[in-house]
Chain A
């Protein structure tokens, strides 16, 4: 099953995908930004600072989502020992860190006008900081441990331990008193307390940021494959 995604087979496909995303990315970005910054109404309470939400919420979702993906790949890798999965999870880590940091920084910018403070050590925010620390550790293992086999092993173990943090982030606002508001969108019930005119730009921005995430991931994955190829040539 897994030979279908072996690096040599997907290499050409990656090139095509990158070109395709590049061709539609800016168009979608302009559409989404027009909706988010011009066409959507201001909030009844926060005014225009609600527009920070359109970048804050999708990037938090992507930060969480890519860590979940890394952890699940690590579990698969730990049990089945497929080397290719290591390269995928390794390439996902930097973009996940970027989006987690964007979520934290934009949240802080939003907190100043709404809450009246830049920073609060509540459960949601602290657990997001822990997530970014896990990302940094994941990236550092590959930077400091040069032996691939060892680095991958530590990477997988760190990712599996970090998986515990994901439900804590998700449910921190329901379990404990936090300054951060509870989530507006409930996927299980399919309900949302965001007005449809504000939900549309949110979903558009999510799409655009996901595309950006895919773009950076594919570029990173491509360089990883090239690195492996180079190593093999040296060995010959």
Chain B
């Protein structure tokens, strides 16, 4: 079955695939900043200068006990457990938005510690369970 022709085609194909993977790897590597859907607070810290006109997205966890809702704005802290970022937002939030859950905020950076959001998206984690089980787990934690 493995004649000379077939062997030739196999080697051609493997070389082509190898080149394709290598080139794609470099393309993706150079595009990383565009592929990232949001920046973490650490990424924001590492940036050289703050451009307060450019729209960006930042994401992480809503820090526990940091959510502060008053009449005209919602304030909370996004954390990636290394760095933190204070976010101010006016408007409605998705149902899943709450403390200790993932969040993505779209808006403009004022400085490296303060962010004004135009839109809030809630991020869901990969865990699925019935509500009774969650209550049991909460009771155990207490």
Contacts and interface: CB of A to CB of B under 8 A. Distances in A.
Given A117-B121, A181-B123, A43 B21 contact: no
Interface of A is mostly: loop
B69 interface: no
Interface string A112-127: 0111110011110000
A53 B13 contact: no
Interface of B is mostly: mixed
Interface residues of B, number: 41
Contacts of A194: 127-129
Contact of B120 (A116, A122, A181): A116
Interface residues of A, number: 40
A50 B126 CA distance: 12
Which interface residue of A116, A117, A123, A164 has the most chain B CB atoms within 10 A?
A: A116
B67 to A, nearest CB: 16
Given A44-B131, A116-B96, A182-B126, 16 more contacts: A43-B128, A44-B129, A46-B124, A50-B128, A75-B13, A113-B95, A116-B119, A116-B120, A116-B122, A164-B20, A164-B24, A168-B28, A176-B36, A177-B36, A179-B37, A184-B128
Interface of A: 1, 41-46, 50, 53, 75, 78-80, 113-117, 120-123, 160-161, 163-164, 168, 176-179, 181-184, 193-195, 197-198
